[in-house]
Structure 1
Amino acid sequence: MKAVKVQGAVMTARTPNTALAALFEESGWSRGQLIRAVARVGAEVGIPFQYDESAVPHWLAGSLPRKPVRPLVLEALARRLGRPISAYAAGFAPSPEPSGGAPDTVAGLADLGSADMDPSRRSVLGAGVFSAAAVIPGWPDVRDRLEKVQVDPHTRIGRPEVAAITAMTEHISDLDDKFGGRMARPMAAAFLVNTIVSALRATASDDVKNALRSAAADHCYLTGYMAMDERKDGLAQQYYTKALELAGAAGDHLTYCTTLRGMSVQAVDLGHGPLAVRLADAAAAASPQAGPRMVAFLAGQQAHAAAQDGDRVDALLRIKEAERAMDKAESGAKAFGSYDPSALNYHVGQVRYELGDVAGAIESLELADRLREPAYRRTRVRYNAMLAERKLAIGRLEEACVDWNRVLDDYPHVQSGRCDDRVRAMLSALRPHLANTHAREVFDRGRPMLRVT
């Protein structure tokens, strides 16, 4: 900027932001469309956005948006253009962010977990923006990314320490299934910082190091899933990316594919169909010699993502592939967590719903509920609420109320942002039907239960 004199006063003349102008022109948006897109991103993460379209010419003339708003503008443009947009690329920073070479995975993991543990920083961390244009490392690129770290020559770990980390992750996963992510994630973050990061910096054989990286990747994936359950979607994405880095460094195809699939689930949940398809397809492509249950696990998500993206043909092909694979899988196998006939029927229901068959979707969700293991209480709350919503949509109010009562039986036992969302949606859906006795009873029962978050 340069100083100029106007009527005896000195004021600043801003340099036009040609970088932002080029991106804006490339987007093809009007001023109002840009503002609305930025506001949508802000709503996702709870950042107030008070600009109107008159702000756009000021930005193009060189005025900077408020600091909390800048990442929202970058993300809105990234989603529109299909690639990450840096602050420098948009004219919001004077120079490119320093690359610093390959990322230090362990140091980044320590920083992420420490911030997640600190109550004073957690709200800021949780407000991170989920990026639909995030750079996701590919398998060939990620194999050598784990940085060499400072080693304590007096500490050496072996298989027992790896087994202990795996057991702790499984224990936290069980708590998450029963009680929700809000209950279990603080424990997961503390264990990550206090135990896993220290172990990654210790001396070990190459085999043990890879087993440890794999166990750490599993733990990051679980922590990311719990962050997603709390509606901390930007934070979840950070944990998932760390899981990919660790799994790639360990040569662990299974965790790498599982994490990509989890990221596709998150994208579907947020309505980013094209990204969900890319992630689900990448997960399937990265899985060598997959057994039948793994094929079903991946193809079911591919089907759901394709259906949401409007690709009827691929959705039906993928769901048939998942059904054939599940028929081949051993019925008693417990591989890949909770993916079982109940989970497959959930995916069948989602495909049916996205393709317009609401009655068929209800049938599949009811079968999924009958097949579901009792331990998955959080899943039961979310999917039974979904079942009730779909019954109400086709006029089956009293049946919906039966399902919502089952939701309210389980809801007090879970601490989950996504479950809170479903109860909030229930109250909204029932409000026009309060003249009905059953609807009034469920509404009156549910309203005092809803947590203020």
Structure 2
Amino acid sequence: MTERPAQRVPNRQLAALIAEAGFSNAGLARRVDQLGLEHGLDLRYDKTSVTRWLRGQQPRGTTPALIAEVFTRRLGRRLSAQDLGLDACAPVYAGLEFAATPEEAVDIASGLWRKDSGSHAELRKIAFTPAGLVVPSRDWLIGRADERVGRGAEPAAARVPVQGRASVPRQRQIDRGPGQRVTAGDIAALRSVSELFRTLDHAYGGGHARQALVRYLEHEAEPMLRGTYGETTGRRLFAAAADLTRLAGWTSYDIAAHGLAQRYFVQALRLAQAAGDRPYGSYVLITMSRQAVYLGHGREAVQLARVAQQGVGSGPPPVVQALLHSAEARGHAVLGEVRASTASLVRAERSLGAARPGDDVPHWARDYDEAQLADEFGHCHRDLQQYRASAQHAERSLQLRSPGYARSRLFCRVVLATARLGLGELDQACALGAEAAQQAMEMRSVRAVEYVRDFERRLEPYRDASAVRTYRDRVAALS
């Protein structure tokens, strides 16, 4: 005699919480789907799905964690999947949360580093979601500075030297252990490594050393953040970790891992708040705005740029103001908003014109110069189909830009090629496009390849022209 399958037990815990929250079945399903979008998940639950859960069916994957989060937000208290009568499950991909405390920020960021440095290939396939931008940017703007970030730091007055014994410098361990004291030299090393990876990214693309950067965060930055440090050192440590985390996001963005990049940016924003560095937080938001522009989300790009302007703090140097205004201009240009884009560009130009050699410019804004501003103008005019102005500014940027910024020069060369094409100068456009295609093949940058592909799509109406056939032959020979 065969055994009958065990009957499902109705989920009374879930039913009670649905009643407490005042959800309908359809309302709960809708909220789970919406929360899934925030995490880059395309879910299709409906009221029938909730009915099945109430009858005892267990949802799969990360869904129990999503359901628990929906109730947590609604009821104002932390609930787990088990509290809802659901099985323990895989957590939702972390990274879009804006942590409540510095300790939680370290946990979330380090969890992201560890997953990314491992064999979690699916992490790099997570979709970018505009909905995931709203809460972190809002929380950063209205949030208060963390009162304390120091960890286990003994007050100076309490450290009494042992008498009658020579003081011998203690050799530091080669491998950093948990709780080890963080020094100024440690933070200087983080800063130096950040500059190294930034230089590699500019010259060779984000894919060149991205994985090494992530491993460095896991094996060096995380132990420091879990070490021992006072308030001043702690703020500097969080600032350095924020910079490296933003760079990990930037390199992820460059290889088209857009959902992963988005998570890095959110965590960099939170680490910057722990550092008490509002200007750097605004820079992270501008980075997020640039990603939104690239992905065609102009409205979100404008909103992020404006939040950055509101939250940057009092009296940022003119160079920083120029950076903030030009990012807003790019968002308006993607939307085809000529007047708004032009007004933002004018503000950026005036701000940069007000810059003086003695200004106290943060390290992350020192690259913003005449070449970068001309590049911003060129991109905006291209998006607004103002091709003559685009060509003029792109040419100026290429004249001024250092060879070390190879990827930026490639982007600008494609902008110039597109402008020449828009002006009907097909031969020049194809020659410039071929140069860019060759450079793209020498880089590990998906963005570089996509710039070239965008240009090639614009060539399609002229595919039978001699110049275009020559271009395609040249590019084919390169591969």
Global fold match (TM > 0.5) = yes
Kept in 2: contact 1:377–1:414 (CA 8 A): no
Name 2:230's counterpart in structure 1: 205
Worse overlay, 267-276 or 306-315: 306-315
Whole-Å Cα distance in 1 between the matches of residues 316 and 255 of structure 2? Answer: 31
Whole-Å Cα distance in 1 between the matches of residues 396 and 476 of structure 2? Answer: 29
Whole-Å Cα distance in 2 between the matches of residues 429 and 292 of structure 1? Answer: 37
User: Which amino acid is the alignment partner of residue 260 of structure 2?
Assistant: L
The CA deviation at 1:158 is: 1.4
The CA deviation at 1:397 is: 1.4
Say whether 1:401 aligns with 2:403.
Answer: no
Q: Which of 271, 295, 304 does residue 270 from structure 1 map onto?
A: 295
Q: Summarize the Cα distance change of 1:344–1:430 in structure 2 as closer, same or farther, 3 Å threshold.
A: same
Say whether 1:125 aligns with 2:151.
Answer: no
Say whether 1:218 aligns with 2:243.
Answer: yes
Name 1:415's counterpart in structure 2: 444
Q: Which of 274, 286, 304 does residue 279 from structure 1 map onto?
A: 304
Q: Which of 120, 143, 146 does residue 144 from structure 1 map onto?
A: 146
Kept in 2: contact 1:142–1:245 (CA 8 A): no
Whole-Å Cα distance in 2 between the matches of residues 205 and 148 of structure 1? Answer: 5
Say whether 1:382 aligns with 2:411.
Answer: yes
Q: Which of 429, 445, 451 does residue 474 from structure 2 map onto?
A: 445
Kept in 1: contact 2:326–2:345 (CA 8 A): yes
Task: Map 1:304-323 to 2 at 5 A.
Answer: 304-323=330-349
Q: Summarize the Cα distance change of 1:89–1:214 in structure 2 as closer, same or farther, 3 Å threshold.
A: closer
Task: Map 1:426-437 to 2 at 5 A.
Answer: 426-430=455-459, 433-437=462-466
The CA deviation at 1:199 is: 1.0
For the aligned residue pairs, the C-alpha RMSD in angstroms reads 4.1
Q: Summarize the Cα distance change of 1:187–1:337 in structure 2 as closer, same or farther, 3 Å threshold.
A: farther
User: Which amino acid is the alignment partner of residue 117 of structure 1?
Assistant: S
Name 1:106's counterpart in structure 2: 106
Whole-Å Cα distance in 2 between the matches of residues 210 and 382 of structure 1? Answer: 36
Secondary structure of 1:231's aligned partner: coil
Kept in 2: contact 1:183–1:415 (CA 8 A): yes
Secondary structure of 1:182's aligned partner: coil
The CA deviation at 1:208 is: 1.0
Secondary structure of 1:339's aligned partner: coil
Name 1:345's counterpart in structure 2: 374
- Percent of aligned pairs with the same amino acid: 26
The CA deviation at 1:311 is: 4.2
Whole-Å Cα distance in 2 between the matches of residues 260 and 219 of structure 1? Answer: 15
Kept in 2: contact 1:348–1:364 (CA 8 A): yes
Whole-Å Cα distance in 2 between the matches of residues 425 and 310 of structure 1? Answer: 18
Whole-Å Cα distance in 2 between the matches of residues 315 and 430 of structure 1? Answer: 27
The CA deviation at 1:69 is: 11
Whole-Å Cα distance in 2 between the matches of residues 202 and 315 of structure 1? Answer: 46
The CA deviation at 1:302 is: 1.6
Q: Which of 5, 19, 30 does residue 27 from structure 2 map onto?
A: 19
Kept in 2: contact 1:348–1:361 (CA 8 A): yes
The CA deviation at 1:181 is: 0.3
Name 2:173's counterpart in structure 1: none
User: Which amino acid is the alignment partner of residue 373 of structure 2?
Assistant: L
Whole-Å Cα distance in 2 between the matches of residues 241 and 338 of structure 1? Answer: 23
Kept in 2: contact 1:182–1:226 (CA 8 A): yes
The CA deviation at 1:384 is: 1.4
The CA deviation at 1:433 is: 3.7
The CA deviation at 1:150 is: 8.1
Q: Summarize the Cα distance change of 1:371–1:153 in structure 2 as closer, same or farther, 3 Å threshold.
A: closer
Q: Summarize the Cα distance change of 1:208–1:358 in structure 2 as closer, same or farther, 3 Å threshold.
A: same
| CA deviations over 1:358-391 (Å, ceiling 9, x no partner) | 3222222222222211111111222212322333
Whole-Å Cα distance in 1 between the matches of residues 280 and 100 of structure 2? Answer: 25
Name 1:196's counterpart in structure 2: 221
Whole-Å Cα distance in 1 between the matches of residues 299 and 343 of structure 2? Answer: 17
Q: Summarize the Cα distance change of 1:50–1:159 in structure 2 as closer, same or farther, 3 Å threshold.
A: closer
Q: Summarize the Cα distance change of 1:347–1:337 in structure 2 as closer, same or farther, 3 Å threshold.
A: same
Kept in 2: contact 1:227–1:236 (CA 8 A): yes
Kept in 2: contact 1:110–1:193 (CA 8 A): yes
Q: Summarize the Cα distance change of 1:413–1:20 in structure 2 as closer, same or farther, 3 Å threshold.
A: same
The CA deviation at 1:59 is: 6.6
Normalising by structure 2, we get a TM-score of: 0.73
Instruction: Name structure 1 gaps, 5 residues minimum.
Output: 1-9, 28-37, 75-84
Whole-Å Cα distance in 2 between the matches of residues 50 and 430 of structure 1? Answer: 38
Worse overlay, 404-413 or 369-378: 404-413
Instruction: Name structure 2 gaps, 5 residues minimum.
Output: 1-6, 16-23, 75-80, 154-176
The CA deviation at 1:146 is: 8.1
Kept in 2: contact 1:104–1:146 (CA 8 A): no
Whole-Å Cα distance in 1 between the matches of residues 334 and 437 of structure 2? Answer: 29
User: Which amino acid is the alignment partner of residue 404 of structure 2?
Assistant: A
Kept in 1: contact 2:382–2:415 (CA 8 A): no
Q: Which of 268, 278, 296 does residue 322 from structure 2 map onto?
A: 296
Kept in 2: contact 1:217–1:247 (CA 8 A): yes
Whole-Å Cα distance in 1 between the matches of residues 407 and 261 of structure 2? Answer: 18
Q: Summarize the Cα distance change of 1:276–1:220 in structure 2 as closer, same or farther, 3 Å threshold.
A: same
Kept in 2: contact 1:142–1:249 (CA 8 A): no
Normalising by structure 1, we get a TM-score of: 0.76
The CA deviation at 1:128 is: 1.7
Q: Summarize the Cα distance change of 1:355–1:435 in structure 2 as closer, same or farther, 3 Å threshold.
A: closer
The CA deviation at 1:147 is: 7.4
User: Which amino acid is the alignment partner of residue 27 of structure 2?
Assistant: A
Whole-Å Cα distance in 1 between the matches of residues 43 and 239 of structure 2? Answer: 44
Whole-Å Cα distance in 2 between the matches of residues 327 and 356 of structure 1? Answer: 26
Q: Summarize the Cα distance change of 1:291–1:88 in structure 2 as closer, same or farther, 3 Å threshold.
A: closer
Whole-Å Cα distance in 2 between the matches of residues 377 and 311 of structure 1? Answer: 30
User: Which amino acid is the alignment partner of residue 144 of structure 1?
Assistant: D
The CA deviation at 1:281 is: 0.7
Whole-Å Cα distance in 1 between the matches of residues 199 and 275 of structure 2? Answer: 25
Task: Map 1:320-335 to 2 at 5 A.
Answer: 320-330=346-356, 335=363
Aligned residues: 406
